[in-house]
């Protein structure tokens, strides 16, 4: 089914049909309806690694990419090689047009300190728009219980920000579901998760979290910012759910 044939009602029907589906079933649905014009963005979080494990069994040819901002932890970048060794899936790096050095020179220093939204926009959102051009759908690893923005998402939804369908296979999972799957299937994961980093983004904007604190409290700590903007829904009349 081509993207141009999808209507708001079809998107709603898809969510209803997948109401009790497992993440694997949702991935099979996405592959059936969108592959080869299906892609996945991953920040190598535990959730994303779970989906890569599932894709390796369902359809390993799905293109998977990482938004390499230039500010990621070394441990995050090292995980890319572990994923390749384990599954034979080589995650593609999608980089901003400017290197970190060029970007900071242009702005007189790092923007993440005083203009983090602009930094995320320039080094994540713009590269993602370029990365998904020509695709009909993209996979994300968000969970509804992570933030209020993510709680608004649907398993299948129209993503007006990037002009394609977004599929969220792990939307109904919680943290325990993720880690139960990781342990049961020996899924490679970022060792920083064992060092007080439940949610990992760019190094300058990610801090360790105390036991019992919200898992995303270490992202942009000390500010109201909890999202880079990739998963903040833009509502557009007639665009889906």
Catalytically active residues are 228
- Length reported for the chain: 241
Q: Which has the closest alpha carbon to 57: 144, 190, 187?
A: 187
Question: In terms of Cα–Cα distance, which of 54, 17, 90, 76 is closest to 184?
Answer: 54
**Cα–Cα distance, 92 to 52 (Å, whole number):** 13
Give burial (CB, 10 Å; 0-12/13-18/19+) of 108: exposed
Strand partners, 138: 39, 166
């Amino acid at each position: 089914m081509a993207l141009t044939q999808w209507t708001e009602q079809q998107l709603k029907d898809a969510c209803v049909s997948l109401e009790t589906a497992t993440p694997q079933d949702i991935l099979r649905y996405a592959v059936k309806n969108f592959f080869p014009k299906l892609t996945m963005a991953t920040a190598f979080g535990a959730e994303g690694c779970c989906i890569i494990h599932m894709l390796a069994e369902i359809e390993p040819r799905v293109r998977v990419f990482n938004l390499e901002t230039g500010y990621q932890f070394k441990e995050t970048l090292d995980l890319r090689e572990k994923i390749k060794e384990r599954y034979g899936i080589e995650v593609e790096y999608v980089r901003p047009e400017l290197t970190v050095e060029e970007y900071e020179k242009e702005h007189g220093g790092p923007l993440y300190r005083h203009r983090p939204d602009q930094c995320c926009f320039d080094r994540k959102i713009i590269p993602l728009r370029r990365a998904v051009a020509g695709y009909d759908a993209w996979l994300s690893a968000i969970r509804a219980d992570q933030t209020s923005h993510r709680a608004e998402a649907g398993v299948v939804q129209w993503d007006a920000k990037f002009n394609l369908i977004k599929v969220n296979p792990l939307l109904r999972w919680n943290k325990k579901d993720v880690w139960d799957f990781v342990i049961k299937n020996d899924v490679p994961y970022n060792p920083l998760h064992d060092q007080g980093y439940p949610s990992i983004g760019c190094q300058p904007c990610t801090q360790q979290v105390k036991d019992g604190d919200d898992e995303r409290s270490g992202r942009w700590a000390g500010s109201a910012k909890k999202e880079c903007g990739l998963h903040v829904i833009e509502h557009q009349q007639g665009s889906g759910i």
